[in-house]
Amino acid sequence: MQRSESGGRQPPPQHRPSGAASPSPAPYSFPMLKPAPTTKIDPSLARGTLLARSPASNDRPATVTLTFPNTNYETTLIAVGEVKAEAGKKIIGIIRAEARRVDVVKTGGRFVEPVYGTPRRVQGSIISADNTANTITLHAGVPVVCKLTDARQRAVAFEPGQLVCCEIAPGATFTQKTPSRDG
């Protein structure tokens, strides 16, 4: 071992014969991020990949399990209408949920809990509010349209950009849509 100018030890320099190829770099052990879509569509539409489809049975409705770009989410939702996508293919649609109560928060990020399964808690910034339907659309890593079910709350009380958190009632849904392209 040789000593560096700062006194620390360094391994001896490696010499290659002239014309020898450089050693190839070690392979990465982390998977590459899939690029997020950039085409502009309605901000209330969620873009994902259909992971699985479960048909309706006597005691439960049909469900879909979706994944979303740059997340680890595997979200299971009740399918509304026919879902035409095949497993492993891209899908676009609206996620709707009933919010038990919505609270404005000062800290935290955007998320859907749990990461795997049916949503129970959502936190994100408000994209839009529909006073007629009494809904707010949240950017929580994926867009979620939340219907306000607490009689004391109205969508008009919330402003776009506010960070909010809410508990989600069981039964969040997914409706497949075909997006219309902006300009």
Q: How many CB atoms sit inside 10 A of residue 92's CB?
A: 16
Task: Quickly tell me which residue has 């129970």 as its tokens.
Answer: 120
Q: The pTM is what?
A: 0.76
Would you place residue 54 in the very low, low, confident or very high pLDDT band (cuts 50, 70, 90)?
Answer: very high
107-129: per-residue pLDDT in tens?
Answer: 989 999 999 999 999 999 999 99
Q: List the Cα angle 57/63/65 in 5-degree steps.
A: 145
Strand spans (E) along the chain? 2-3, 9-10, 46-54, 63-67, 74-80, 90-104, 111-113, 116-117, 121-130, 135-139, 143-148, 163-168, 173-176
Task: Count other Cβ atoms within 10 Å, centred on residue 79.
Answer: 19
Which three-class secondary structure state does DSSP give residue 75?
Answer: strand
Q: Is the pLDDT reported for residue 137 higher than 90?
A: yes
Domain-by-domain residue ranges, the chain?
A: 46-176
DSSP state of 39: S
Q: Say if residue 99's pLDDT is above 50.
A: yes
Percentage above 90 pLDDT, the chain: 68
Q: Check residue 42 and give its pLDDT.
A: 85
Long-range own/partner contacts, residues 68-71 (CB < 8 A, 24 or more apart): 68/141, 68/142, 69/34, 69/35, 69/36, 69/37, 70/33, 70/34, 70/36, 71/141, 71/142
Query: pLDDT at residue 20 above 60?
Result: no
Looking at per-residue pLDDT, the higher value among 14 and 55 belongs to 55
Degrees to nearest 5, angle at CA 171 with 166 and 172: 60
Nearest-5° Cα angle at 37, 166 to 86: 85
Does residue 182 have a pLDDT over 60?
no
Q: Looking at residue 183, what is its pLDDT?
A: 39
